[in-house]
Amino acid sequence: MQNPTACLLVIGNEVLSGRTQDANINFLAKGLGAIGIPLREVRVIPDVAETIIATVNEIRARFDHVFTTGGIGPTHDDITSECVAMAFGVPWEPHPVAWARMEAHYAQTEQGVAAFNAARQRMATMPRGATLIDNAISIAPGFSIGNVHVMAGVPRIMQAMFATLAPTLAGGPPIVSRAVHSTGAAEGTIAEGLAAIQNRFEALDIGSYPYYRASGQGVAIVAKGNDAAQCEAAIAEVAELFRSLGAEVIDGEPGF
């Protein structure tokens, strides 16, 4: 079975300006691999309507799933939701369930301090046909429309949304990996033997990653794919390659 593919769209000037260190790419890369919808591309784009609309339309045609993070709050720079409506060519209108829920929520708070005002009403306004993505942390939901899943940018809210969303997606077999590393080997020395191993295990993705840690430097080799036994067999050959060069062999990835 072929794995469905995913593209992540990180929307926000704050990542591009360096104000914010993105944490969502790594979380979703792992989470999507675990449900068998591997992440194949990421784009980080600014809060610019034409860019968001054009990018959403390009990537939703090219990937099985598109996940977006950021730009669904109440302020002027939060324009993801209306841009997704424009990309799909559907009206951007109050979502009855989200609206009723947020209206009831803010009615319980002190009026004026946290009223269900025009800014907050925008968070209950969505492309027609959107399905809500609830989350356990904030009252405002994300949503899915077609193969596009729109989530918050704040990591803990995004993670809570992904926890709701993930079980609803039909993934392929999970991506698994095995690793081995050695402080006694250099990439340039093992490269030829490693390429031969990659050629013998065509279904796997074998990566070579030099590391520089306080505990020492060396090379880590990671084999990834759908078949754990194949990954183990490939990594066993890598271990043998390390040994043949007189280098030590350490199971798994290096610590930090």
Contacting residues toward a copy of itself, per CB under 8 A: 10, 12-22, 25-31, 33, 38-47, 51, 73-77, 113-115, 117-120, 123, 154, 156, 175, 177, 186-192, 194-195, 198, 205-210, 212, 222, 224, 253
Nearer to a copy of itself (CB atom), residue 129 or residue 172:
172
Residue placing its CB nearer to a copy of itself in the complex, 104 or 128: 104
Closest approach of a copy of itself to the CB of residue 54, in Å: 11
Distance of CA 147 to the CA centre of its chain: 15
Tell me whether residue 131 or residue 183 sits nearer to a copy of itself (CB atom). 183
Q: In one letter, which amino acid is 131? A: T
Q: How far is the CB of 37 from a copy of itself (least distance, A)?
A: 12
Across 19-28, b (16+ Cβ under 10 Å) vs e yields eeebebeeeb
Q: How many residues does the chain have?
A: 256
Query: Minimal distance in Å, beta carbon 129 to a copy of itself?
Result: 25
CB of 220 to a copy of itself, least distance (A): 9
The least distance separating a copy of itself from the CB of residue 36, rounded to whole angstroms, comes to 13
Nearer Cβ to a copy of itself, position 95 or 120?
A: 120
Whole-angstrom distance, CA of residue 55 vs CA of residue 87: 9
Collapsing DSSP to helix, strand or coil, 130 comes out as coil
Distance CA 124, CA 245 (A): 62
Nearer to a copy of itself, 227 or 253 (CB): 253
Contacts of 168 (CB under 8 A, 6+ apart): none
Q: Which two tokens stand for residue 53?
A: 């609309």
Q: How far is CA 46 from CA 50, 52, 64, 136, in A?
A: 10, 8, 23, 28
Helix or strand (DSSP H, E) at 50: helix 49-62
| Closer to a copy of itself by Cβ: residue 56 or 145 | 56
Minimum distance, C-beta of residue 23 to a copy of itself, in the bound complex (Å): 8
